[in-house]
Structure 1
């Protein structure tokens, strides 16, 4: 579903080029979940942006299904992202003037893939069924993050990218949101790539990669064994 092959990325700074990723390769299959761990500044978010087609690598290839993202124009990448990629961030990015139900269905409607039955199921599974006509400001932080997850999954993406999705939540709420997220990912059959700095958050996922100094480290499975 997702493949990065020998991907490198640098950014220009007043001190000169800053190499963020160097020769990174990974593959993620449909239905698989992968945690990407690393310290701040290790390149995790940059890798996620490349996987989403929000940016392109200096060298190497990023493939989403059969499409090489760097061979597409920016509008083509945006169209592919809208139809095939769900994005969940630490900040919720909800539209304050839209109801819970309308926020959840927003991306699916923009992509022309709105399925009312699936949206209703998502609201129920997220525990938001009774809050469909409320507005984001009337929800707790955990409820807003659940809504952001539902919005990303409403389009039935092939790939879900999550950047520290529980970073703003207390530990108990984070555990509840993570359990819901993984359950919904399994129900939808999409692949999941999650950036996190927390070993506890990474533990339930199928695999874990560490990123340091722009390069990938040991691969761990869900039971913590290196391979």
Structure 2
């Protein structure tokens, strides 16, 4: 479902070229839940952003299903993110002016893929029924992240990408949010790739991949 081959990416910082990815290879099957770990600066977030089409690699190939992400235009990558990918970040990125209910439905409505029954299941499973009329500023961090996860899954993506999604949460809340995410990913059948520094959280997924010095260790 996801295939990454010989991926390279170099950034220029302070007049110096820094090779962040030096030929990364990675495969992820439909329904598989994979943790991506490694020390700071190893390229984890860069890899996730390239897979999501938020940036372009210098070399190599990324395929999601039949789509070669690196060959898509800007509009094509935006359509891929809208229709087929779910993105969850450490910063919850909810729209402050929208209610919980409208935040949850935002991506699926824009994509024209809103499923009322699936939306209702997400509301129930994420424990958001009593919060639907509230706004993000009225929620705890854990509640905001639940909304962000629900929004990402509402579109029924083929792949959910999460960059330190529990980084701003306390340990108990992080465990609860990730357990819900694992269950909902299994229910939806999408692939799940999560960047995390936590060996404890990584161990709860199907497999762990480690980046070191810009390659898969």
Compute the displacement of 1:149 (Å).
0.3
Tell me, what secondary structure is at the counterpart of 1:137? Answer: helix
CA-CA distance at 1:10 after TM superposition: 0.4
Secondary structure in 2 matching 1:162: strand
| Unmatched 5+ stretches in structure 2 | none
Q: Partner of 2:12 in structure 1? A: 12
1:171 aligns with 2:171: yes
Range with bigger deviation, 146-155 or 48-57:
48-57
Q: Does 2:102 correspond to 1:102?
A: yes
Structure 1 residues 52-97: Cα deviation after superposition (integer angstroms, max 9, x where no partner) = 1111211110001111112110111110111000000000011111
Deviations 1:18-59, CA, capped at 9 Å, x for gaps: 100011001001000110001111100000011111112111
Q: 2: distance between equivalents of 1:53 and 1:60? A: 13
Question: Matched residues in 2 for 1:117 and 1:29: separation?
Answer: 26
- Listed as ranges, the gaps of 5+ residues in structure 1 are 218-227
TM-score (ref. length: structure 2) = 0.98
2:71 is aligned to: 71
What do residues 197-216 of structure 1 show as CA deviations (whole Å, max 9, x unaligned)? 10011011011011111011
**TM-superposition CA deviations, 1:134-164 (whole Å, max 9, x none):** 1111111101100100000000000000000
The question of 1:111 aligning with 2:106 is answered no
State the shift of 1:15 in Å: 3.4
The Cα of 1:14 is off from its aligned counterpart by 2.4
TM-score of the two chains, using structure 1 as the length reference: 0.94
1:156 aligns with 2:156: yes
Aligned-partner Cα distance in 1 for 2:66–2:11: 27
| Cα offset, 1:183, TM superposition | 0.4
Across the aligned residues of Structure 1 and Structure 2, the Cα RMSD in angstroms comes to 0.8
Query: How many angstroms apart in 1 are the aligned matches of 2:134 and 2:12?
Result: 44
Provide the residue aligned with 1:180 in structure 2. Answer: 180
Q: How many residues align?
A: 217
1:54 equivalent to 2:63? Answer no
Secondary structure, in 3 states, of the residue corresponding to 1:174? Answer: helix
Deviations 1:87-136 (A, max 9, x none): 00000011111111100000001111111121111011000011111111
